[in-house]
Amino acid sequence: MIGSFITGMLTLVLGYAYPAYDCYKTVELNRPEVEQLRFWCQYWILLAFLTVLERVGESFVSWLPMYSEAKLAFIVYLWYPKTRGTAYVYESFFKPYIAKHETEIDRNLLELRTRAGDMAVLYFQRVTNYAQTRSYEILQYIASQSPTQRQAHQQQQRPPPPRTRQVNPAPPPIPAPSAPPMPPQPAQAQVPPTPPRPLVPVVPPGAVPPAPPPTAPEATATNGLQDTETMQVDPPRASLSGPPLPPEETLIEEAIRLTRGRLRRRLAGGSGPPQN
């Protein structure tokens, strides 16, 4: 690693810096020598050709041992005053090869110059199309970074919700029909209690029935009976909110009481002696 670095630095100094300075001194003389100028021109031609070959074939030959040292020695051999290898290499190898292919090289250069305009236009169009495409992509990317576009893009990328089978809800329970309100029952007329009736003595079958009462008492009894019947026929109407009617047994007892009261009145009216 250190050897390659040192060899590279020596190549720059001995192959480029020192020959360039010596060529400068030759050009700046009052009367430059043509042979010296020719020598340095040949040197730079060979060095340029060597540099081109080195860029192309160095990856194939750089692994050889002592390659950098051999290249440095060859460069020094070209310009060293005692060897003057430039003239020998140029006249023996480079000039015959170039002279042999000079016509072909000139034709290719002419075609390259002719097609240079078309190639320049073609490459300019390609570069323009590429620049437009890249500019559009950049603007589209910038627009997609805005909050609105970002939310829309996220919504588009969001997977749709899974479809769930909708189950028909059970029908609501039908309320049972409530019993209609009972109509208000009409209040039964309350029969007012009747006054107690006197007991009528039972007449044995063999006994003589008592004599009928006089006229005045009969009229009094008749009036009393009418009053009683009136009370029974036209009882006062009870309020609608009164108690229910008495049962049949109560009615029978009431009838018995009325009959007994009538008999007692008759007996009471017939037992009194008539006054003369």
The predicted-structure confidence for 180-204, as pLDDT tens digits, reads as follows 555 444 444 444 555 555 554 554 4
Residue 180 covered by a domain? no
**pLDDT level of residue 54 (50, 70, 90 thresholds):** confident
Domain that holds residue 243: 187-276
Which has the minimum average pLDDT: 65-69, 163-167, 218-222, 262-266? 218-222
Residue 131 lies in a domain: yes
Same domain, 38 and 62: yes
- 158 domain-assigned: no
Residues of the chain with pLDDT > 70, as a percent, come to 61
**Are residue 197 and residue 117 in the same domain, yes or no?**
no
pLDDT at 29: 83
How high is the mean pLDDT of the chain? Answer: 73
Q: State the angle between helix axes of 18-27 and 34-61 in degrees (0 to 180), rounded to the nearest 10.
A: 160
Percentage with pLDDT > 90 across the chain: 17
Only one residue has tokens 């692994």, namely 63
Q: Does residue 220 sit in the same domain as residue 270?
A: yes
**91-100: which pairs have CB atoms within 8 A and are 24 or more residues apart?**
94/45, 94/46, 94/49
CA distance 48 to 51: 5
Within this chain, do residues 34 and 115 fall inside the same structural domain, yes or no?
Answer: no
User: Do the domain assignments include residue 124?
Assistant: yes
For residues 53 and 12, state if they share a domain. yes
Judge if 271 and 197 occupy the same domain: yes
- Segment among 18-27, 82-91, 192-201 with least mean pLDDT: 192-201
Residues 84 and 114 in one domain: no
Q: Are residues 248 and 218 in the same domain?
A: yes
* Residue 165 domain-assigned (yes or no): no
Domains in the chain, number: 3
The reply to whether 175 falls in a domain is: no
141 in a domain, yes or no? yes
Question: Does 86 lie in the same domain as 131?
Answer: no
Task: Give pTM, 2 decimals.
Answer: 0.43
Taking a C-beta distance cutoff of 8 angstroms, is the pair 6, 67 a contact? no
Would you list the DSSP string of the chain?
-HHHHHHHHHHHIIIIIHHHHHHHHHHTSSS--HHHHHHHHHHHHHHHHHHHHHHHHHHHHTTSTTHHHHHHHHHHHHH-TTT-HHHHHIIIIIHHHHHHTHHHHHHHHHHHHHHHHHHHHHHHHHHHHHHHHHHHHHHHHHHHTSHHHHHHHHHHHSPPPPP-PPPPPPPPPPPPPPPPPPPPPPPPPPPPPPPPPPPPPPPPTTSPPPPPP-HHHHHHHHHHHHHHHHHHHSPPPPPTTSPPPP-HHHHHHHHHHHHHHHHHHHHHHHHSPPP-
Verify that 192 and 241 share a domain, yes or no.
yes
- pLDDT confidence of 265, banded at 50, 70, 90? confident
Same domain, 112 and 61: no
Judge whether 99 lies within some domain: no
Same-domain status, 135 and 195: no
